[in-house]
Amino acid sequence: MSDHVYKKIELVGSSPKSIEAAVENALVRAKKTVRNMRWFEVTETRGHIQDGKIDHWQVGVTVGFTLED
Amino acid sequence: MSDHVYKKIELVGSSPKSIEAAVENALVRAKKTVRNMRWFEVTETRGHIQDGKIDHWQVGVTVGFTLED
Amino acid sequence: MSDHVYKKIELVGSSPKSIEAAVENALVRAKKTVRNMRWFEVTETRGHIQDGKIDHWQVGVTVGFTLED
Amino acid sequence: MSDHVYKKIELVGSSPKSIEAAVENALVRAKKTVRNMRWFEVTETRGHIQDGKIDHWQVGVTVGFTLED
Amino acid sequence: MSDHVYKKIELVGSSPKSIEAAVENALVRAKKTVRNMRWFEVTETRGHIQDGKIDHWQVGVTVGFTLED
Amino acid sequence: MSDHVYKKIELVGSSPKSIEAAVENALVRAKKTVRNMRWFEVTETRGHIQDGKIDHWQVGVTVGFTLED
Amino acid sequence: MSDHVYKKIELVGSSPKSIEAAVENALVRAKKTVRNMRWFEVTETRGHIQDGKIDHWQVGVTVGFTLED
Amino acid sequence: MSDHVYKKIELVGSSPKSIEAAVENALVRAKKTVRNMRWFEVTETRGHIQDGKIDHWQVGVTVGFTLED
Amino acid sequence: MSDHVYKKIELVGSSPKSIEAAVENALVRAKKTVRNMRWFEVTETRGHIQDGKIDHWQVGVTVGFTLED
Amino acid sequence: MSDHVYKKIELVGSSPKSIEAAVENALVRAKKTVRNMRWFEVTETRGHIQDGKIDHWQVGVTVGFTLED
Amino acid sequence: MSDHVYKKIELVGSSPKSIEAAVENALVRAKKTVRNMRWFEVTETRGHIQDGKIDHWQVGVTVGFTLED
Amino acid sequence: MSDHVYKKIELVGSSPKSIEAAVENALVRAKKTVRNMRWFEVTETRGHIQDGKIDHWQVGVTVGFTLED
């Protein structure tokens, strides 16, 4: 593990339900093209309002994954 | 939409339940006097502790709304 | 001037043309209800993209004005 | 206290005397129109210079107050 | 309350379930050795990924407690 | 729109003319390979100097685009 | 001095009087259990408001002290 | 170029016209006493308001120049 | 005033007495070589501890002054 | 050079030896797929500890490269 | 690993030799009283100058360790 | 030492070898014109890449020195 190189990508996931679900949705989508995802970090938590209520959350996520040799 | 002007206000919502509920409570209260709320951004996530347990969450929220002409 | 109290409000102005025009649009709208505006500070510079081109700029502006006695 | 909603406003108070007095002056002015102020936070400490000496301090203050139901 | 001195410590709590549960787990552990905890502040929200899914959340928490005389 | 996932990329655009033109140049180049660009955010504004004059602006831009399913 | 190791702790001191007094109160309390304190840094300046006036200042202080061998 | 030492100075340029012009004005003035200016970075974008309109822009600029041997 | 160019310098002033006195001491010293100082901004507030008490305050100050033509 | 567009990517390099070696390892790996790398910036310096000693350094690096036409 | 709680402490290590050695010195000292150290993060890199040369480096390090049950 | 006034200047030093050497090179150059340098702080760590390898490091350094009476 001491010689790994990681790459970080920045995503924004959405969900009408919760912050956690917005992060999960981002990872579900990323999994289609990115392998070896290791960790994530929430960078911003925002959302859209409709008729005075939270319509959906938008959560910025930085995802780190191992670059294979 | 390209000529809208928005105003941002800063609120702190509270809830014994969750971060999401604290944001919702802030919006419910804001809705009484603010129209055309469009988006929000979480600026800080804090809380109070009672007897070693979370008593309630306090979440800072910046809310953006359209200024009507 | 040494005993003035100022209030700051946060606006977002839009313009398809430039950053400067977006700030001006925010001030034009604010002038309708706010008197004695003294200075502003740009807090964020964003924009929307349509068909790969800048559709309009969205510029965050903090405006300071004198509170009259 | 667990279901309160607070609003934050941003002020700049001035005083030729001290940082503390500049904050106090901002609160004295705010009290005329804002009720239920609970806490404040100093966000920036600046000042003007005249003939090489401090003419007056200008201190940015965020003030939080309870929104009544 | 005006003459209290507080100390702040920094913890990282983990949970497979949610951000809130990760904070709670940190407090449960801290309660074993720290008395008079008063408030907390979330400083970072991260997590580990296993097989493309969130394995567990890791949430940084600053906890403030009263130093007794 | 509530279930979209976005990716953000970071570019630096250049222009001898203006900040706006530097952002536009970054987007023109990005459009060749990136579809569905939605918004951008200016992250830094720099430039090079030649003979005491601005030779060209270099503007950092984060661009967000929709990841298609 | 070139081989010293320091530890930093974070305190919050309170005083109805001034920012300086709040820092001093934090150090007076810390001195009971911490030896060899060398320097401090003010990290945040806040306060509580009662009846529209400053009730007491709350000042965050990071204190560095030498770890003895 | 690998053994150059640069010095950075901080200026504030003004212009009634644009952000770009305010930066240029700062460089024009700096050129009178500073040689070998290489790059700049915009650090803050502010301005003064007169009668509800932008009177002039004030732009903070860090300028880097080569220290000659 | 709309065509002035300012330069900013960074100082650290010291005083056993207060934050305000530390800033004043920095300005008194700067006045010997710098003319036309207009404003200052406190950038950090630190201090040294001797025998568990504040020995002196060290306050970082950015000072802006007009560059004459 | 005034019309170049650059892209920035974020990597994390590891090395048991030094900060410099961790950055080099990130670049060695990136070189396999990225051409025209021009500059880098260290964004965070972390590491893992084993038996009370540094096991390896983990250094965050933003790398900028020219996008060819 | 998903239910661990970590505590973070802040140290400053010194060394006349290098940044890496300053971090190592901090860890060597911490190891005397802290068990289960897992990771560290460099928070600031400073140093003292004697006769125009680096006398020693002073490096701020946040160290995370597992709190045992 | 309690009545000293310090000035801070910002330099960028370069070296093909290491971060430490880049700082040293900045100080060697500064020593030619600046007396009584006391401390430094690393503000940014960057570098240039040639053929996929680190060509040289560029390290930002703030240097503090005593202003003599």
Q: What is the DSSP string of D55-66?
A: EEEEEEEEEEEE
- Per residue in C35-46, pLDDT (tens digit) is 999 999 999 999
Mean pLDDT across chain E: 95
pLDDT for H1 beyond 90: no
pLDDT of residue C8: 98
**Backbone dihedral region for residue J3 (phi beyond 0: left; psi -120 to 50: alpha; all else: beta):** alpha
CA distance H41 to C3: 35
pLDDT of residue H21: 98
pLDDT for A1 beyond 60: no
pLDDT for A57 beyond 60: yes
pLDDT band at J1 (very low <50, low <70, confident <90, very high): low
pLDDT for C1 beyond 70: no
Instruction: Please state, in angstroms and as integers, the Cα–Cα distance from residue H46 to each residue in D47, F12, F57, G17, L29, following that order.
Output: 17, 23, 19, 35, 35
pLDDT of residue F2: 61
pLDDT for H2 beyond 80: no
pLDDT band at A3 (very low <50, low <70, confident <90, very high): confident
pLDDT band at L1 (very low <50, low <70, confident <90, very high): low
- Tell me the average pLDDT across C13-26: 98
Name the closest residue on chain D to residue B50, using Cα atoms: D2
pLDDT of residue K23: 98
> Token digits for D30?
């705010």
- Tell me the average pLDDT across B26-49: 97
pLDDT of residue I68: 84
pLDDT of residue G3: 75
pLDDT of residue D1: 53
F64 CB-side CA count, 13 A:
19
- Tell me the average pLDDT across I35-40: 97
Instruction: Report strand pairing: D37-50 vs K53-66.
Output: unpaired
CA distance L39 to I12: 12
- For residue K36, report the phi and psi dihedrals to the nearest 5 degrees: 65, 35
- Per residue in L14-36, pLDDT (tens digit) is 999 999 999 999 999 999 999 99
Q: Is the ipTM of this complex over 0.85?
A: yes
In chain H, where do the E strands start and end?
A: 6-15, 37-50, 53-66
Instruction: Report strand pairing: E6-15 vs E53-66.
Output: antiparallel
Query: Which of I2, I6, I9 lies nearest to residue H12, judging by beta carbons?
Result: I6
pLDDT for F61 beyond 70: yes
**Backbone dihedral region for residue H43 (phi beyond 0: left; psi -120 to 50: alpha; all else: beta):** alpha
Whether D22 contacts chain C with CB within 8 A? no
pLDDT of residue L52: 97
Residues in chain J closer than 8 A to F10 (CB atoms): 7-9, 62
pLDDT for E2 beyond 90: no
pLDDT for G40 beyond 60: yes
The CB density around residue F33, as the number of other CB atoms within 10 Å, is 9
Q: From the CB coordinates, do chains I and K have 3 or more pairs under 8 Å?
A: no
DSSP-assigned letters across all residues of K34-52: ---EEEEEEEEEEEEEETT
pLDDT of residue L2: 61
Mean pLDDT across chain B: 95
For tokens 């290098």, the residue is K18
Selected for mutation to probe chain E from G7, G9, G14 (highest E CB count within 10 Å) is G14
- Tell me the average pLDDT across G19-47: 97
- Tell me the average pLDDT across H6-26: 98
- Give G14's strand partners: G58
- Which residues of chain D, if any, have pLDDT below 70? 1-2
- Tell me the average pLDDT across G19-48: 97
G49:D28 CB<8 A: no
CB L57 within 8 A of CB L14: yes
pLDDT of residue L54: 98
- Residue E59's contacts (CB-CB under 8 Å, 6 or more residues apart) are E12, E13, E14, E15, E19, E22, E23, E26, E42, E44, E45, E46
Burial of H26 (0-12, 13-18, 19+ CB in 10 A): buried
E49:A42 CB<8 A: no
Selected for mutation to probe chain G from D1, D19, D20, D43 (highest G CB count within 10 Å) is D20
Alpha carbon of K69: minimum distance to chain E alpha carbons (Å): 8
pLDDT for J3 beyond 80: no
The CB density around residue B33, as the number of other CB atoms within 10 Å, is 8
Name the closest residue on chain J to residue K43, using Cα atoms: J45
Whether G11 contacts chain E with CB within 8 A? yes
For tokens 């685009």, the residue is F65
pLDDT for A58 beyond 60: yes
Residues in chain A closer than 8 A to E47 (CB atoms): 23, 39-41
- Which residues of chain K, if any, have pLDDT below 50? none
CA distance F57 to F47: 4
Name the closest residue on chain K to residue G68, using Cα atoms: K29
pLDDT for E62 beyond 70: yes
Instruction: Please state, in angstroms and as integers, the Cα–Cα distance from residue D33 to each residue in C11, C68, I39, following that order.
Output: 22, 12, 30
